[in-house]
Amino acid sequence: MPKVLIADKLSPLAVEVFQRRGLNVDFEVGLSPEELKARAGGYDGIAVRSATKLTAEILEAGAAGELKVTGRAGIGVDNIDVEAATGHGVVVMNTPYGNATTTAEHTVALMFALARQIPAADTSTQAGKWEKSRFMGMELTGKTLGLIGCGNIGSIVAERALGLRMKVAAYDPFLSNDRAVDLGVEKVELDELLGRADIITLHVPMNDQTRGIIDAAALAKCKKGVRIINCARGGLVVEADLKAALESGQVAGAALDVFEIEPAKENALFGLPNLVCTPHLGASTNEAQENVAVQIAEQMSDYLLSGAVTNAINMPSLTAEDAKRLGPYMKLAEQLGSFAGQLTRTGLQAVTIEYEGHVAELNTRPLTQAALTGLLRPMLDSVNMVNAPVLARQRDIELREIKDETPGDYQTLIRLTVKTDRQERAVSGTLFSGDKPRIVEIKGIQIEAQLSPHMLYTTNDDKPGVIGALTGLLAEEQINIASFHLGRNAPGGDAIALIELDEPMNGETVNKVRELPSITRAELLQF
């Protein structure tokens, strides 16, 4: 059975889930990077929170062994080298919904704390002071909340803010107009949001586009007295610029749960009277920690046991039901890719995958990745469904996907066409009885064949005696034929044969086949 390592402090419920699903699980916290690197290859999956760093070196060592999936119990994957994981064919999962409500509620809590200066007022009151005039607050009703990011967490914050009778404006390039209407928010550009918002909250991931999105230039565009709240990622706000804006009064107050450097035991912002800070508590509730632990354990178990993919960063989602339904199509797609890949001898330039009929109505992304995997495997031993698209891009292989839901000669058909620097070749396949892959066309020639572990593929001039000579040679070599499939484009034209063999054929025999009269090509294929 698959074996999983839990390398960070997760709820004990995660262990229970893995064990209930039949997986072997080790729960070891505090492993050094060297220890983790040495042991990573012994596990099919590694589950972490934010403390453990899964570096490129650790992932490479893991992928050289058994490692297939990593899971982050939480939304961010900053501590996992996703690019390295993808390159080594390791799935990276997270739990984007498990702590969404908790983080949104923490944002709202900080908004109230900031508006009414609650932390400072509490400290003053417990010190025996009674400074009512000092702590003049701001009413939230009627104020404009500006959301930078309106995904899972941002949309919950919007819902809560609308319940407080606030106006909500959102900047999010991925927010559709219809979704904005459904949420009851106004979709705006970033500069407009900065100029209108009384309070700005951030709910975006950290990447090259969002890093430092709140800097001196952005703060200068805000209305004087704006309040800034960040429960997302520390690097979204340039802390030196925020400090200057807090000191000048351009920003009336800020509430931060995240910092550029964590743990933030020292920070230039600390000590400012108009600042509220918490130590990255956005997801710190019992409910959230249990939710993400259970979710990541379920997701990793599903993947290792059934191939289902949920909330993966580097692979399309595939439910257990989809995995079962798409299984025969994925086998067909990989066989088509493998067939073309084993016959490709020159530089691969482009791949076109066409889906016709019923298969065009399905989720074809996993099918395309399966086809690419089969196509590249003869050249790259380490390729799998996770890294196949990356490896194709690295080699400048153009990929096209075409769908046509109208059935043709078959109710469902997949056609894979490869273009090399010398020629273009197509192979097509379908499913018989709903789950049995069949090759039905090669280079425009109709043929019906089931692929098996040992196949001999030949092309020849369509002349009398070719089949007899070929079968006679195989008989002399004591090679038994399991099935023999023929096709031609026209009488006396080009012909092909797919021959299923009971056992492998050695290279010497293949060369003898190639030397037969009228045989133009002979290749041993394995599936």
Q: Angle at Cα 318 formed by Cα 315 and Cα 323, nearest 5°?
A: 125
Where in 65-122 does DSSP place strands (E)?
A: 69-72, 91-93
Tokens of 483: 């099935």
Catalytic residue among 34, 131, 139, 262: 262
Catalytic residue list contains 280: yes
Q: Are 420 and 397 in contact (CB under 8 A)?
A: no
Q: Angle at Cα 365 formed by Cα 361 and Cα 368, nearest 5°?
A: 105
Catalytic residue among 280, 325, 358, 425: 280
C-alpha–C-alpha distance, residues 45 and 304, integer Å: 8
If one counts every other C-beta atom within 10 angstroms of the C-beta of residue 35, the result is 12
Task: Classify 383 as helix, strand or coil.
Answer: coil
Which of 199, 202, 203 has its CA nearest to residue 253? 199
DSSP 66: T
What's the per-residue H, E or C state across 197-255?
CCEEEECCCCCCCCCCCECHHHHHHCCCCEEEEECCCHHHECHHHHHHHHHHCCEEEEE
Q: Are 441 and 339 in contact (CB under 8 A)?
A: no
Q: Is 357 left (phi over 0), alpha (psi -120 to 50) or beta?
A: left
What residues form DSSP beta bridges with 500? 455, 483
Distances (CA, A) of 488 to 445, 457, 492, 524: 6, 13, 8, 20
Q: Are 199 and 111 in contact (CB under 8 A)?
A: yes
Catalytic residue among 21, 227, 233, 485: 233
Active site residues: 233, 262, 280
